[in-house]
């Protein structure tokens, strides 16, 4: 499973990239606003921190303006992935852009039927929002299972990019279902490394090693 980080914070992205485990970045208008940076400038900087796809979202709601915005965004770097909302205009834009070889992430997906439409529109990625789905009394993971089943039934190549991840269990469940990508806030990626027994084990080994009085680097 690919790991994307869901942020526009440069320091967080650099930290995640340094682990060697980062496969891409997702942003959205809220994350850009949170960064306090100029959209074009920060997106260009992010694109230089990873070879993987960097999702940059259009803000127009009509197809013609989305196409114009996508034209501007895709000039930022070769690894820009245009993010469009799951609407009729968004999917028209998705079809036109992917026909032209541009990567597209279809965002704000909340049903398996919507994911089916995104795949038919040739989306590179579809982003089901599991956290917001859970928040509203639905089962985000059931949605991922349904999309996986449908995509496998028809050999769709669209990658399932699990978004709106809130905790490590969402990541585990996504991996068990066979989702292609998880985009996570930096805190969730860090939480994946943690286990109380790992910390306790290190503590014990360090204490015993100190008793030997030895060093490895001599
Ligand atoms: C990523 O592409 C999405 O925009 C993001 O995961 C949404 O997460 P949220 O529901 O925590 O805002």
Q: What is the pLDDT of residues 94-110, one digit of tens each?
A: 999 999 999 999 999 99
Q: Are 139 and 173 in contact (CB under 8 A)?
A: no
Mean pLDDT in residue range 19-41: 98
| Domain ranges, ordered by start, for the chain | 2-212
DSSP string, 110-124: -SHHHHHHHHHTT-S
pLDDT digits (tens, 9 = 90+) for 79-91: 999 999 999 999 9
Active-site residue, 92 included: no
| Among 3, 4, 6, 90, residue to substitute to test ligand 1 (most atoms within 8 Å of Cβ) | 6
How far apart CA 165 and CA 169 sit, in angstroms, is: 9
Q: Is 2-212 a domain of CATH 3.20.20.70? A: yes
pLDDT digits (tens, 9 = 90+) for 147-168: 999 999 999 999 999 999 999 9
Write down the pTM of the prediction. Answer: 0.97
CA distances from 166 to 2, 188, 209 (A): 17, 7, 38
Amino acid 108: pLDDT:
98
Ligand 1: centre distance to CA 44 (Å): 20
Ligand 1: centre distance to CA 100 (Å): 27
Residues 6+ apart with CB under 8 A from 117: 86, 91
- For residue 23, give both structure tokens: 């496969």
Q: Of these residues, 75, 83, 190, 200, which one is catalytic? A: 83
Amino acid 93: pLDDT:
98
Amino acid 123: pLDDT:
98
């Amino acid at each position: 499973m690919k790991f994307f980080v869901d942020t526009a914070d440069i320091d967080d992205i650099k930290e995640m990239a340094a682990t060697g485990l980062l496969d891409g970045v997702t942003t959205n208008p809220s994350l850009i606003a949170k960064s306090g940076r100029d959209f074009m400038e920060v997106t260009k900087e992010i694109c230089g921190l990873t070879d993987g796809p960097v999702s940059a979202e259009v803000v127009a709601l009509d197809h013609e303006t989305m196409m114009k915005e996508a034209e501007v965004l895709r000039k930022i770097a070769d690894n820009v992935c245009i993010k469009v909302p799951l609407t009729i205009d968004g999917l028209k834009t998705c079809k036109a852009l992917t026909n032209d070889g541009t990567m597209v992430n279809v965002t704000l997906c909340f049903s398996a039927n919507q994911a089916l439409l995104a795949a038919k529109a040739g989306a590179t990625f579809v982003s089901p929002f599991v956290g917001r789905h859970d928040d509203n009394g639905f089962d985000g993971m059931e949605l991922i299972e349904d999309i996986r089943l449908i995509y496998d039934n028809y050999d769709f190549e669209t990658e399932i990019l699990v978004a709106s991840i809130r905790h490590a269990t969402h990541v585990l469940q996504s991996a068990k279902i066979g989702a292609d990508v998880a985009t996570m806030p930096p805190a969730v990626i860090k939480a994946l490394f943690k286990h109380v027994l790992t910390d306790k084990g290190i503590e014990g080994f360090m204490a015993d090693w100190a008793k030997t009085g030895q060093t490895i680097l001599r």
